[in-house]
């Protein structure tokens, strides 16, 4: 990597931000964009069906009995 010229050096040329490419800057340092294949491999696995029906689930505790105020 070559040293960055000083802004006081006559060879320094200002480049406006709108004229720069962030992706191109990263590529100069070895970054490569991910492919769709890479993204698919990193995705979380799909959700597996754990319970087929809510009626098949046994509650841990029963509801408290209703108390009639009187």
- Per residue in 7-29, pLDDT (tens digit) is 898 888 888 989 999 889 899 89
Does pTM surpass 0.75? no
pLDDT at 36 over 80: yes
* Residues 24-56: b if buried by 16+ CB within 10 A, e if exposed: eeeeeeeeeeeeeeeeeeeeeeeeeeeeeeeee
What mean pLDDT is reported for the chain? 81
Q: Which residue has the higher pLDDT, 52 or 34?
A: 34
């Amino acid at each position: 990597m070559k040293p960055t010229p000083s802004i006081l050096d006559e060879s320094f040329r200002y480049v406006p931000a709108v004229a720069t490419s962030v992706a191109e800057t990263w590529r100069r340092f070895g970054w490569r964009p991910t492919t769709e294949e890479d993204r698919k491999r990193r995705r979380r696995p799909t959700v597996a069906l754990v319970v087929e029906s809510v009626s098949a689930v046994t509650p841990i505790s029963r509801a408290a009995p209703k108390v009639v105020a009187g």
